[in-house]
Structure 1
């Protein structure tokens, strides 16, 4: 053996071992510190997923607002799918609703940069802060005008 822990050598085996220990009530044998780290990491992953889904939605809404002549079915489908995915993600992780303002700000910053790169417009063409509230951007009847 190289002295490294199972956690370092084989995460899958470690995870299964820890699950079995927890189910058996053997907390004293469980790797509590690493379990706590992994649970925190899972929470951060869920928030990053929300930001990613919001980024796609906001990117397409910005393009829709600033390139109305190029609006098409694929952008509309992307917006509709993004709205559905965000709704599902929040239903599965309702506590993320408390992080919406922060997540929208993070996603918008990235979406603004994406929209500028894709459209060829200067980033300053797009509002510095997200121009839409969450309810508006999620409303299936909402399609921004330039």
Structure 2
């Protein structure tokens, strides 16, 4: 299949485009590869991994804040959500260790987003929550850590 047909296939049948591209790569038919879309897809994969990490981090921080600042409403569902999203964080970091510096870079920003969400979900004033994140990376990833 020519590059032009591959580009058209990308627009009309994404799964078939992937399968054809993989097959062409395996067979060494590099002249048939839709390089522009393949490069875009690889870049999207990296962005997707970063988005996933950030999303899971915000959920963990949100539940830690709710756990700490609404002790009367603690529930097994919060604890379960913490476990699940911590698993996801650790899986992401294990699969892609190069995400660790990114994790540390986005911690402060993610914490701010988590405090805003905690305010919205709990009804507590925003100044209830510290402006700086009290949780370090080790605590965030530790299944047994629950703030008092």
Quote the residue 2:62 is aligned against: 59
Quote the residue 1:93 is aligned against: 96
Residues 81-110 of structure 1 show CA distances to partners (whole Å, capped at 9, x for unaligned) of 222221122112221112112232343232
Shift of 1:144: 1.4
Tell me the number of residue pairs that the alignment of Structure 1 and Structure 2 aligns: 143
Give ranges in structure 1 of 5+ residues lacking alignment.
none
Superposition RMSD in Å:
1.8
Quote the residue 1:36 is aligned against: 39
| SS in structure 1 at match of 2:92 | helix
Give ranges in structure 2 of 5+ residues lacking alignment.
none
TM-score, normalization by structure 2: 0.87
Residues 40-74 of structure 1 show CA distances to partners (whole Å, capped at 9, x for unaligned) of 10111011111111111111000011111211222
Quote the Cα distance in structure 2 between the aligned partners of 1:29 and 1:82. Answer: 41
TM-score, normalization by structure 1: 0.88
Residues 1-146 of structure 1 mapped to structure 2, 5 A cutoff: 5-145=8-148
Q: Which runs of 4+ in 1 moved over 3 A?
A: none
Query: 8 Å contact 1:50–1:103 — kept in the other structure?
Result: no
